[in-house]
Amino acid sequence: MKRTVIYAAVVILTLASCINKSQSEQNTSGKNAIIKDSPTFQNGFSEVNGIKIYYEIYGHGKALILIHGGGSTIQTNFGKIIPLLAKSRKVIAVELQAHGRTSDRNTELTFEQDADDVAALLKNLNINKADFFGFSNGGTTTLQIAIRHPEIVGKMILGSALAKRNGVYDWFWDHMKQAKLENMPVQLKVGYKKVAADTNGLQVMHDKDVSRILNFKDISDDQIKGIKQPTLIIIGDKDVITPIHAIELHSQIANSELAIIPGGHGEYIGEMTTIKSDFKESDLIVPIIEKFLNKK
């Protein structure tokens, strides 16, 4: 059981089922279907730095950009919270290089390149500034967006984000070295295969995610301290990210708040691999997110 939980966290860090390609597949049940069938839903591809990035737009209002974790799609990470956030926001969710429906390029994955890709996508969408919520790998990408493209960032939420190699428990690196596709959570494999144009890309995505994390280098203290945007840092109390790391980020980002939520890696947003039989919407941290985003 511990190995399954660990690997679920690992693959997300390396480091949602999205709209399917046919209309019949889009007509799923529940709140997500209501949003997708409404006039407020849009989706498409945008040419960005040599790849085609897939995105989805829900709702109206100030833009909130959702950036997923490693091995994930929009719906496997954010499917549970998008309907709630979209009640008062224009939610723009993206799939990054080699993930979901977005194409790959003949390069390794880097958080810096992902940050540049997101910035270019927003330019294509005529969005000059937005708030950001990045989860896991997406949280690290969001840090890089604030560092490399600060002018486009209003507020940002860092969900289980890694900034330093010592920000995870010691056992994490040993398990990363042993990561294999067959140990990847079934929910993430299914989520990828349901939407990807070429399901053979699953192995490539997995291997690139693992390589990125194994070769991860610390973000410097000066870069972190240079972040001026209002920031909400969130982790679970049973997260892969250590509380000490979250507290250190909180101390280094001057205009930041910290929330440590009961639960594991991504449980606070209803990430697909964390869903339990007794799941309730009230378990999600949407009220905390909205309070932070609406604060003057």
Domains of the chain with bracketed CATH: 2-294 (3.40.50.1820)
How many Å apart are CA 217 and CA 4, to the nearest integer?
26
pLDDT of residue 243: 98
> Phi and psi (nearest 5°) for 284?
-80, 160
pLDDT of residue 16: 34
pLDDT of residue 170: 92
pLDDT of residue 38: 63
Distances (CA, A) of 87 to 20, 79, 115, 134, 217: 23, 14, 27, 19, 38
Distances (CA, A) of 230 to 91, 103, 154, 286: 19, 32, 7, 17
Please list, in sequence order, all residues whose beta carbon lies within 8 angstroms of the beta carbon of residue 290, skipping any fewer than 6 positions away: 85, 88
How many Å apart are CA 271 and CA 23, to the nearest integer?
25
Q: 63 pLDDT exceeds 80?
A: yes
pLDDT digits (tens, 9 = 90+) for 103-112: 999 999 999 9
Mean pLDDT, to the nearest integer, of 38-64?
A: 94
How many Å apart are CA 206 and CA 53, to the nearest integer?
18
User: How confident is residue 40, by pLDDT bands cut at 50, 70 and 90?
Assistant: confident
Q: 25 pLDDT exceeds 80?
A: no
pLDDT of residue 36: 66
Radius of gyration of the chain (CA): 17
pLDDT of residue 12: 43
Joined tokens for residue 141:
């990408």
Distinct helix (H) and strand (E) counts, the chain = 13, 8
pLDDT digits (tens, 9 = 90+) for 171-216: 999 999 999 999 999 999 999 999 999 999 999 999 999 999 999 9
Least confident of 11-15, 78-82, 270-274: 11-15
How many Å apart are CA 273 and CA 17, to the nearest integer?
12
- Whole-number mean pLDDT of the chain? 90
Q: Which residue has 């507290």 as its token pair?
A: 247
Q: Is residue 195 within 8 Å of residue 73, measured between CB atoms? A: yes
